[in-house]
Amino acid sequence: MSPPTMKAQALHPPRWSPAMTPTRLGCLAVSMLWLLAACSKPANAPTNGTAPPAPAYTAVARGKIDIEGGLLSLSMPREGTLAKVAVHEGDRVKQGQLLAALDTAPATLAVDGAQAQLEQAQAQLKLLDIQQPVAKQRAERLTAAVAAGAGDGQSADDAREAAAQLEAGHEAAVATVNMATQKLAEARYELKQRSLLAPFDADVVQVSAQPGASVSPSSGPLFTLLPEKPRIVRAELNESFVGVIQPGMHAEVVADSGPGAVQWSAHVLRIGQVYGPATLENDPQVRANARTVECVLAFDQPQDLRIGQRVIVRFGTATTPTPAAPKD
């Protein structure tokens, strides 16, 4: 009879003591509360359980760095053979500095010829300046003698005619001197046109000239200059944003080189009045269909950026909306 009794005891689990039940239930409750707290509140989550929204801007546009007027392309104003190229790419030139010069022999000869003609006209005028008072005085004396009955009337008439002719010759000589002076100025101007000078302080970006080459105004630019002017941004503003962007509005200019790019503070100078295609858009389909307006911005602080650099312009101050208070 003993084996059945042992089997019956193995089939029934041991019963808990009433004294142990409150302790086990308390431990289980504490464990559940801890697990719920760990799952509902991550270590780096905001206190109100809401993720921070991304910064919002009024508009965003593509742009590029430029200067007012753009790069300057220069060609020789006259046809001829280059005798000298005075600068190289990368040089910094001052206003009035020589860039290149043509063969000046023909122009120099023209200046010398005009100078000789002027000197000749001036000598003729000087001679008439001497003859005219004498002839006038003689005519007055003969006229007075005729009036007094002591002179020949014909001689007086001839003297007056000679004086009048000298006066007319004097006027013609003055006109000849003026014309010779004008021709000399033209010859000197043509001589200056044989030299190409820097119109203002600038950096030489490109040189397409060498001594001995035949050039003309129609042969294309020989020099490309970057004027020393403040950098600006030319942005292509989508037509949907034209009404919300105003001159003076703050903007952030970011280099179009991926995350972590340098950014600069700027403000809107002006907004164009003409719609055009989007030339800075990478997607060909978007570039063909989009219509944009040029928006020009100035940097708040002078920047020495490369012309043509692509940038992203964010108009307006980035704002982070204040999250709503949690409801009870």
User: Residue 55 — pLDDT band, cuts 50, 70, 90?
Assistant: low
Any idea which fold 59-68+229-315 has? Answer: Elongation Factor Tu (Ef-tu); domain 3 (2.40.30)
Average the pLDDT over 80-89 and give the result: 95
Looking at this protein, which amino acid is placed at residue 227? P
- Please give the pLDDT value at position 1: 42
pLDDT reading at 27 higher than 80: no
CA-to-CA dists, residue 23 to 15, 19, 31, 35, angstroms: 16, 8, 13, 19
Residue 38 clears pLDDT 60, i.e. is over it: no
State both tokens at 201. 């302080």
pLDDT of 321 over the 90 cut: no
- Tell whether the model's pLDDT for residue 19 goes beyond 50: no
Cα 257 to Cα 12, 212, 262, 286, 318: the distances in Å are 75, 44, 9, 20, 20
* Rounded CA Rg of the chain: 47
Average pLDDT of span 232-247: 92
In this prediction, residues 226-250 reach a mean pLDDT of 93
The burial of 184, by beta-carbon neighbours within 10 Å (0-12 exposed, 13-18 middle, 19 or more buried), is given as buried
- In terms of pLDDT, which residue wins out, 35 or 220? 220
Q: Which residues contact 314 (CB under 8 A, 6 or more apart)?
A: 57, 59, 60, 251, 252, 253, 254
Task: State the pLDDT at residue 2.
Answer: 44
Percent of the chain exceeding pLDDT 70 equals 78
Strand order in the sheet with 214-215: 195-197, 98-102, 80-85, 214-215
User: What mean pLDDT, rounded, does the chain reach?
Assistant: 81
DSSP code, position 148: T
The stretch 191-203 carries a mean pLDDT of 95
Tens digit of pLDDT for each residue in 96-137? 999 999 999 999 999 999 999 999 999 998 988 888 888 888
Please tell me the predicted confidence (pLDDT) of residue 286. Answer: 75
Gap between the Cα atoms of 167 and 154, Å rounded: 20
By mean pLDDT, which of 89-103, 133-147, 281-295, 309-323 is the weakest? 309-323
The more confidently predicted of residues 156 and 43 is 156
Name the more confident of 233 and 304.
233
Q: What is the pTM of this model?
A: 0.65
Alpha-carbon distances, residue 139 vs 4, 56, 100, 168, 173 (angstroms): 179, 99, 61, 15, 22
Structure confidence at residue 314 (pLDDT) = 94
- Name the token pair of 89: 């790419």
Among 1.10.3720.10, 2.40.50.100, 2.60.40.10, 1.10.260.40, name the CATH number for the domain at 76-102+198-220: 2.40.50.100
- Measure Cα distances from 258 to 63, 264, 265, 301 in Å: 15, 15, 18, 23
For the chain, percent of residues with pLDDT exceeding 90:
52
Whole-number Å distance between alpha carbons of 185 and 167 = 27
